[in-house]
Chain A
Amino acid sequence: MTPLLTLHGVSKSFRGLRAVSNASFGVESNGLVALMGPNGAGKTTLFNLIAGVLRPDGGEIYFDGKRIDAWRPDQVCAAGIARTFQIVKPFAGLTVVDNVVVGALQRAANLKDARTRAEAVLTTLGLSAKRDLPPQTLTLAERKRLEIARALATQPKLLLLDEALAGLRPTECDELVATMRDIHKREGIAILIIEHVMRAVMALAHRVVVLHHGEVIAQGAPAEVVRDRAVIDSYLGEDATL
């Protein structure tokens, strides 16, 4: 399978602190990859490097055959990478549907097309009933869904989900995992997900990349990675229940 996203030795430091160090991995064009690691491992920094919010100090990032590591976030989005934020950032002054319309306008020729696209995405994410509400009235689970809906509306080839499941109840978590799998299968969108919830990662990911102190310490199939010595020592612990 051809890689859609490729990172070659990507590094980023903040005042001497190596947040990401020589990280290399890829996401295939139909891949579903989970990025794991303890707090402070550099996962979100890595996301921000891919999404164009930060520029790497070293290394290269390729997407769809183009080098994107010097691009702005809006250019990265236009190229086909959409991301969600760990701390949800809805547009408070706009209704749920209008939040999604903003994303849909990225590829829509006009507002009418964008609305059509937004309605379809809301249906996929199960938010249609909430379309006219201000986002502040949504539950956390719904706001996480809105975050995904907005990103999905930009019609990406790759979706970056930053802890989309964090803080959700187990049932909400399972529902959202099912939705993600649905998006991945039905729309053929590659997904790179930052996730701590092991149960979800095991159920969802084809491949797992584990970061520790900014370095990739293991990658491979989920079942292999959880048996990896380095991963157990640095992150999961001896008696991790899956």
Chain B
Amino acid sequence: MNRRGRSLLALLGLLLLVLPSVADNYVLSLATLFLFFAYTGQAWNILMGFAGQLSLGHALYLGIGAYTSAALFSHFGIGPWAGLWLAIALSSLAGVIIGFLALRFSIAGVYFALLTIAFAEFARIGFDHFTWVGGSGGLFLKVLQREQIDLLNLRGTPTVFYYVILTLAAVAFLACSWLMQGRAGYYWQAIRENEEAAQALGINVFRWKMLAVIISAAMTSLAGVFQAFYYNNLFPEQVFNIARSIEIILGPIIGGIGTLFGPIVGAAVLTLLADSATELVAALGWDLPGLKQLIYGVALFLIIVFLPHGIWPRLARTLKVPQ
């Protein structure tokens, strides 16, 4: 990255660091949402953007992370910092099972995507009847005083949650850029571009694909842990819903698949877009159901039509920074 790029990145970092001291709670909640999707988008991008495996079921890993940590907390009083390890382990296991099935039976491309959807749907239906964690009625975490900060149990003010997700997003960004500059980045891109040629050059395709699945799943499950303690309620119909998986992947797709900044830019644009659509509908006073979604959809459509490679590659050229 050139100097210009580094200074712009530093500026963005600084802006995000001081945001809570200037923003009100509403803006802070928007920023938290933005970072949440920047983080999950980054995790998904490892699998799709780097290694070329399309997952449409990332809600599965999100849900496993959320339910594991929430169940440990509500049933046994085990805090999220201990619970997240089990969350990582279980979602990695789910990733291994899906990855193994896909690779063992050569399920690739759209069929791999269908497999990931199927597993997320199994989980949604399964958790609907899993009464130990509330079934379809939902699982609720005890909400303490919001002003009381208890970092050990991840309870606190919106500012606390903001900084937690900011840290996650920043670490994910750094981890991804480190991965991309190393052997893993080269191997994943080789596999993405041509699996047969990659294998002929000595790359163990199975092993490296599995690694991508596991890293992606583990990262996504951490977002799930965050989600559980941020919202304090979990419903299978929401958590494992395919709409959730789509929400995760929209950011990197809009921002630029396979790029480091794509998921961040995409998440920012989507968050602002959703909010502007709401504001616009409110300002116009048109209380039509679905209008907000319609505006959102049309805007997405326009972005995809005019920037098929995502916003970031175009933006990078404008800013004169490398992608």
The answer to whether A103 and B183 touch (CB under 8 A), given A92-B193, A93-B193, A93-B258, is no
Please state if A111 and B183 are interface contacts (CB–CB under 8 Å).
Answer: yes
B182 within 8 Å of A by Cβ? yes
Give the residues in chain B near A98, CB-CB below 8 Å. Answer: 186, 189
Whole-angstrom CA separation of A72 from B196 in the bound complex: 11
Whole-angstrom CA separation of A150 from B201 in the bound complex: 8
Closest partner residue, chain A, to B196 (CB atom): A89
Please state if A105 and B187 are interface contacts (CB–CB under 8 Å).
Answer: yes
The answer to whether A102 and B186 touch (CB under 8 A), given A91-B194, A93-B192, is yes
A51 within 8 Å of B by Cβ? yes
Minimum distance in angstroms from B322 CB to a CB of chain A:
12
A94 within 8 Å of B by Cβ? yes
How many residues of chain A are within 8 Å of chain B by beta carbon?
26
The answer to whether A154 and B201 touch (CB under 8 A), given A53-B196, A92-B193, A102-B187, is yes
Please state if B200 and A82 are interface contacts (CB–CB under 8 Å).
Answer: yes
Please state if B200 and A77 are interface contacts (CB–CB under 8 Å).
Answer: yes
A78 within 8 Å of B by Cβ? yes
A74 CB contact (under 8 Å) in B181, B189, B193, B203: B203
B200 CB contact (under 8 Å) in A73, A90, A93, A101: A73
Closest partner residue, chain B, to A94 (CB atom): B189
Please state if B205 and A85 are interface contacts (CB–CB under 8 Å).
Answer: no
The answer to whether A111 and B194 touch (CB under 8 A), given A94-B189, A102-B201, is no
Closest partner residue, chain A, to B181 (CB atom): A111
Whole-angstrom CA separation of A53 from B195 in the bound complex: 12
Please state if A102 and B190 are interface contacts (CB–CB under 8 Å).
Answer: yes
Give the residues in chain B near A106, CB-CB below 8 Å. Answer: 201-202
Minimum distance in angstroms from A146 CB to a CB of chain B:
11
- Interface membership of chain B positions 259-273, coded 1 if the CB is closer than 8 angstroms to chain A and 0 otherwise: 000000000000000
Please state if B190 and A89 are interface contacts (CB–CB under 8 Å).
Answer: no
Whole-angstrom CA separation of A67 from B190 in the bound complex: 28
A191 within 8 Å of B by Cβ? no
Give the residues in chain B near A154, CB-CB below 8 Å. Answer: 201-202
Interface residues of B (CB under 8 A from A): 181-183, 186-187, 189-190, 192-194, 196-205, 258
Closest CB pairs A-B (n = 9) = A77-B202, A91-B193, A89-B197, A106-B202, A73-B199, A102-B190, A89-B194, A103-B201, A74-B204
Interface residues of A (CB under 8 A from B): 51, 53, 72-74, 77-78, 82-83, 85, 89-94, 98, 101-103, 105-106, 111, 150-151, 154
**Beyond known contacts A105-B186, A106-B202: 7 more, CB 8 A cutoff:** A72-B199, A72-B204, A77-B201, A90-B197, A103-B201, A103-B202, A151-B201
